[in-house]
Amino acid sequence: MDATAPSTHTYDVIIAGGAMAGATLALAIEQLTQAQLSVAVVEAAIPDHAHPGYDARSIALSYGSCQLLEQLGIWHHVAPFATAINTIHVSDRGHFGLTEMNASTEGLPYLGNVIELADAGREFHQALSQAKNITLYCPSFVTELTRETDKVTITLNDGQVLTTKLMVAADGALSSCCDMVGIARHEHDFEQVALIANVTTSLPHQGKAFERFTETGPVALLPMSEGRSSLVWCVKPHEAPDFLALSDREFAEKLQQTFGWRLGQLLHVGQRNSYPLILRQATQLISHRFAVVGNAAQTLHPIAGQGFNLGLRDVVTLAEEIAKAHKEQQDCGNMIMLQRYLHRREPDRDATVAMTSGLVHGFSNTSAPLSLGRNLGLAAMSVFSGLKAPLLKRAMGLVER
């Protein structure tokens, strides 16, 4: 359904943000309650209908995340735009340590999938528009938010007024809805900038993902469709402008020196973009009739590709708790439901944030003892699978929710 006429409407759940996290939450609620709860999604951006080609941004979905989407009946929306990760190769530039994780060794069809966001975004937008009990307000954004004992009232930029039992912030790292209810953010600057682009290599990637640690930060290449790979290259902030100013050929040569020749020659580089790497964590995941999910809850360093996967576990857990409250004929926005969501999410959130931040600082440190230690660790993991198991389990998203 599409909402057009200005008026006042009441919903069981309103979600601010209709990108991957918000859209998945809406579709999950629809699936788990058999469309018995009314959901509104407020999204500011209309998906671009031009084919993104080399300029598409991608995310890596872990095996566990793909399974969650499959269980919710949502996987078919993204499967056409998915490229399987069969192997993950981890190395430390200039040192002997390396390890590999293989889907076949684990008895799995894949370790994860790379999803091209522009394509997936259009598919999710269409799914929201066609859903039985989801109303999509797009392009729209929240300008006012007030809370009373039994409801939340929001005003949209076009003047429409909506009320709900539960408001969910899925509106990104700098969530305006969190600001409106006074939920602050902790920030930690990693003092790195991520350069992103899509590249073509002379050798086929064959479903292999690479994470290579360097003095300035990690370099990751993830397999994509049409033989391309998605690049995330972390550099020092003062280096980023110079890298962006290079010609495509010069940039490819610099990347070749840093990444090496495991995929042969780097033949083509698409449009480059950059963003600063800052850990942001909402100080609260819940408040009165208010829940926070996805990047609004936390944005992580892209090392080990944990950010969206952690956010997806937020989303699915919240959807499950909302469905449970509905089944028990309880108010789906009450504090009992919100406390259950918080209790289930805190351990995973704390462990994942600690792991990613520890990897960033551990592999960016150039001191000889630490460098030796991490390389011995990588080498040991390649020999003793038991040492690799905890990292592999979290990388695959097979963690308690």
Query: How wide is the angle at C-alpha 8 spanned by C-alphas 6 and 12, nearest 5°?
Result: 130
Strands 98-102 and 87-92: antiparallel
- What is residue 332's three-state secondary structure? coil
> Does residue 396 form part of some domain?
no
CA distances, 126 to each of 18, 121, 130, 152, 263 (Å):
11, 9, 6, 27, 36
- What is residue 230's three-state secondary structure? strand
pLDDT over 60 (residue 332): yes
Model pLDDT, residue 213: 82
Q: Which residue has the tokens 């009946």?
A: 73
> Does residue 367 form part of some domain?
no
pLDDT over 80 (residue 303): no
Model pLDDT, residue 284: 96
> Does residue 76 form part of some domain?
yes
What would the mean pLDDT of 130-158 be, rounded to a whole number?
A: 97
What residues are paired with 84 via a beta bridge? Answer: 113
Arithmetic mean of pLDDT over the chain: 87
Model pLDDT, residue 348: 92
> Does residue 391 form part of some domain?
no
Q: What share of the chain is helix, strand, coil (3-state, %, to 5)?
A: 40, 30, 30
3 contact partners, CB below 8 Å, separation of at least 6:
9, 40, 135, 136, 137, 160
Task: Return the CATH number at 90.
Answer: 3.50.50.60
- Higher-pLDDT residue of 98 and 67 is 67
Crossing angle between the packed helical segments 20-32 and 307-327, to the nearest 10 degrees = 30
CA distances, 145 to each of 19, 294, 384 (Å):
20, 20, 54
Compute how many other C-beta atoms are within 10 angstroms of the C-beta atom of residue 123. 18
> Does residue 348 form part of some domain?
yes
Q: Which residue has the tokens 């797009």?
A: 138
What percent of the chain stands above pLDDT 70? 85
* Element (DSSP H or E) covering residue 363: helix 335-364
User: What's the distance, Cα to Cα, between the start and end of the chain in Å?
Assistant: 32
pLDDT over 70 (residue 367): no
Report how far residue 119's alpha carbon sits from residue 48's, in angstroms, rounded to the nearest whole number: 9
Q: What is the DSSP letter of 346?
A: H
Model pLDDT, residue 370: 40
The contacts found for 250-253 with CB under 8 angstroms, 24 or more apart, are: 251/197, 252/199
* pLDDT 10s digits, 345-362: 999 999 888 888 777 765
Which of 3-12, 21-30, 270-279 is modeled with the greatest confidence?
21-30
> Does residue 167 form part of some domain?
yes
Give the residue numbers spanning the domain of 79. 8-359
pLDDT over 80 (residue 374): no
CA distances, 266 to each of 214, 269, 305, 385 (Å):
18, 8, 23, 32
* pLDDT 10s digits, 161-173: 999 999 999 999 9
pLDDT over 80 (residue 16): yes
HEC sequence for 364-385: HCCCHHHHHHHHHHHHHHHHCH
What is the number of domains present in the chain? Answer: 1
> What is the secondary structure of 74-130 as a DSSP string?
-HHHHGGGEEEE-EEEEEETTSS-EEEEEHHHHT-S-SEEEEEHHHHHHHHHHHHHH
What residues are paired with 31 via a beta bridge? Answer: none
Of 381, 335, 388, which Cα lies nearest the Cα of 166?
335
> Does residue 228 form part of some domain?
yes
> Does residue 375 form part of some domain?
no
Report how far residue 43's alpha carbon sits from residue 258's, in angstroms, rounded to the nearest whole number: 39
> What is the secondary structure of 39-63 as a DSSP string?
EEEE-S-PPP-S--GGG--EEEEEH
What would the mean pLDDT of 273-282 be, rounded to a whole number?
A: 93
pLDDT over 80 (residue 95): no
